[in-house]
Structure 1
Amino acid sequence: MARLRKATDSWCEPLLEADQCPCERLPDVVLCRIFMLLPPRLVARVCSFVCRSWRDVSLDPSLWSYYCQNTGLRSADEIKLSGGWRALFIAVFGPNLVGSPCFRPIEQLEVDQAKSKAPGPWEPKHRVILDRIAVLDDVEENYHSYSHWGVEAGSQFHRGGGDGVVRENPPVDCSPCPSVPLESVIATSHDWGRLQHYIGFQTFSNKFLDQSPPFVLTAWFAARRGSPGLFRINLLLRDDLKNCKSVWDSGILNAKDEWQQAKFIIKDYNKGVRSVMVKLAGKCTTGERGFYGTKFTDILLHKFATCYGLFGQVSYSSPFFCL
């Protein structure tokens, strides 16, 4: 034991004298290879802040080239976007694809500009439509704002509820959503209130899209206090002619007084998807008139890098129903 301790102590002496951690002695090439085994999010948000040398390695183009090419992106994709491989990875897998996650209306003066805005490389395209979402203090029932979200065709707004929806800020008889406490929520009534949102991928590489990269979909939902409700999400995946190729369904989720976050990975769908339609629906189970149904907000949709756990533990989706 004494010999072992002595040998161990002598092995540590050079490190203690140099006042260095063993990893600080690693060549940059070796450290870069180690980073390739880590999730990009961990490299960008943790490793890059350890020290200057780790930051330099975390920005190495060969590291981000490896990440991109391991997720189906190619050199031709990198050329479309200035900033190199790291900028390409962030542009594809970083942003929320949803145009307005908390249902903010678009100001009247900005509607024309929003409609005519052309998306840049790897940016999703969103429609600007009359949303037919009201608020409870509207003077006129036919007053509606413009938004990226719209009430599903056939739904009608009624003061007593029905299948209409309203925008609430702050939420009525419900605590604010913990992820976005200052943002609006959508409240439903005694029948299914439905909203839908179009997201187009016209500026994305078709070769990349045809690999059917998974989506990560999350949403926060809660019931009005004392009025249990139901919540449901559908994702329609469509081709370049807007024909529906696959429909994903979350199933019916039970809403409680406390806010819950639904998380899904949507994968193994047919190739050829060029746009998606996100559909949200909620209702109360008590049948009360008025907007006592499920509330929801903070809708996130991301492309998922399949070979890395970027978002921690996320439940896998139910099977697809191919049309």
Structure 2
Amino acid sequence: VDNSGRCEKSGEKEENSSEFPGPRMESLPEAVLIRILASIPAVDLVLACRLVCCQWKNLVDGAALWILKCQQEGLTGAESEENAENWQNFYFLSKKRKNLIRNPCGEDDLQHWGEVENGGDGWKIEELPGDFGKEFPSEEVHKYFVTSYEWCRKAQVIDLKAEGYWEELMDTTQPKIVVRDWYAGRSDAGCLYELCVKLLSENEDVLAEYKSETVDIPQDNDANWTEISHTFSNYGPGVRFVRFEHGGQDTLFWKGWYGVRVTNSSVTVEP
């Protein structure tokens, strides 16, 4: 193409640009630009908008945009949230927050639970409140697992990367990993309960561990449901899996299902 051709195209470009008078995006006040960007889906902000120019990259990497998105979507308010250091990570962790334990209440029999130890007559799923039992504090829970006259245990291993928690996030931010479980006995029988949770590396080395004491529930107890919880934090880099295990037995060695009852187990990754 000769010089005249290039000049002609240049002239066309100038003529076309004159058809759209007014300020360009880069001339907008930063506060206005942040409000515009806050209306864009978070994934697009990180994967596309961040690559447009240095100004947009700085805004996407900064706190103001993510604070606004958190406010717009109702993700702020608690003290821990107000003190969040990395608001982008806080936003994504808050949006992804869910129970990573599958089938926590026995609605799908023993599906998703592995390494099952069926002592005595093995695990059984029963409807709440059950014989000599109490209703669960939440109306959303309808069933529980119950143990027998010898130790019954079951476990789940959660793949954090498969659940969307990328390696850099786990290694640098090290978000809290919160573990909860609920247990109860029946009022006419004594029982034992244990919980053990391990944070594992890619090679399944144990990087952190929580093990409860062996809870001894006496016969003639009140059958109330009790919550047990533990929060892992500052656990160091390399965590890729969470192994959750719980179980128990009755202490009278009665045939059938008189042991500890468990339900509504949960593992959550939180800001």
Amino acid in the other structure paired with 1:201: L
Gaps of 5+ in 2: 1-30, 32-67
RMSD: 3.4
Verify the 8 A CA contact 1:177 1:220 in the aligned structure 2.
no
- 1:239-250 equivalence runs, <5 A: 239-250=201-212
1:220 and 2:182 matched: yes
Partner of 1:195: 154
Deviation at 1:219, TM superposition (A): 1.4
Amino acid in the other structure paired with 2:255: R
Partner of 1:98: 101
Secondary structure at 2:249 match in 1: strand
From 80, 84, 87, give the equivalent of 1:70: 84
- Whole-Å Cα distance in 2 between the matches of residues 197 and 56 of structure 1? 34
Partner of 2:71: 58
- Whole-Å Cα distance in 2 between the matches of residues 210 and 300 of structure 1? 22
Secondary structure at 1:209 match in 2: helix
- Whole-Å Cα distance in 1 between the matches of residues 204 and 82 of structure 2? 28
- 1:110-121 equivalence runs, <5 A: none
Deviation at 1:151, TM superposition (A): 4.8
Gaps of 5+ in 1: 1-28, 30-54, 78-84, 107-130, 132-146, 306-323
Partner of 2:113: 149
Partner of 1:282: 248
- List structure 1 runs of 4+ shifted beyond 4 angstroms: 66-69, 71-74
- Cα offsets for 1:69-115 (capped at 9, x unmatched): 935575xx6xxxxxxx74x24234x2112122212217xxxxxxxxx
Cα–Cα, structure 1 residues 237 and 284, in superposed 2: closer, same or farther, change >3 Å? same
Amino acid in the other structure paired with 2:99: N
Verify the 8 A CA contact 2:119 2:152 in the aligned structure 1.
no
1:302 and 2:268 matched: yes
Verify the 8 A CA contact 1:73 1:208 in the aligned structure 2.
no
Q: Count residues with an aligned counterpart.
A: 195
- Whole-Å Cα distance in 1 between the matches of residues 191 and 112 of structure 2? 25
1:231 and 2:231 matched: no
Higher relative contact order (CA 8 A, sep 6+): 2
Q: For the pair shown, which has the larger CA radius of gyration, 1 or 2?
A: 2
Secondary structure at 2:235 match in 1: coil
TM-score (norm 1): 0.52
Partner of 1:184: 143
248-257 or 232-241: bigger deviation: 248-257
- Cα offsets for 1:13-33 (capped at 9, x unmatched): xxxxxxxxxxxxxxxx9xxxx
Deviation at 1:187, TM superposition (A): 0.5
- Whole-Å Cα distance in 2 between the matches of residues 102 and 193 of structure 1? 16
Cα–Cα, structure 1 residues 208 and 286, in superposed 2: closer, same or farther, change >3 Å? same
- Whole-Å Cα distance in 2 between the matches of residues 303 and 225 of structure 1? 35
Identity %: 19
Cα–Cα, structure 1 residues 148 and 60, in superposed 2: closer, same or farther, change >3 Å? closer
Secondary structure at 2:169 match in 1: helix
94-103 or 250-259: bigger deviation: 250-259
- Whole-Å Cα distance in 1 between the matches of residues 188 and 106 of structure 2? 25
TM-score (norm 2): 0.61
Amino acid in the other structure paired with 2:145: I
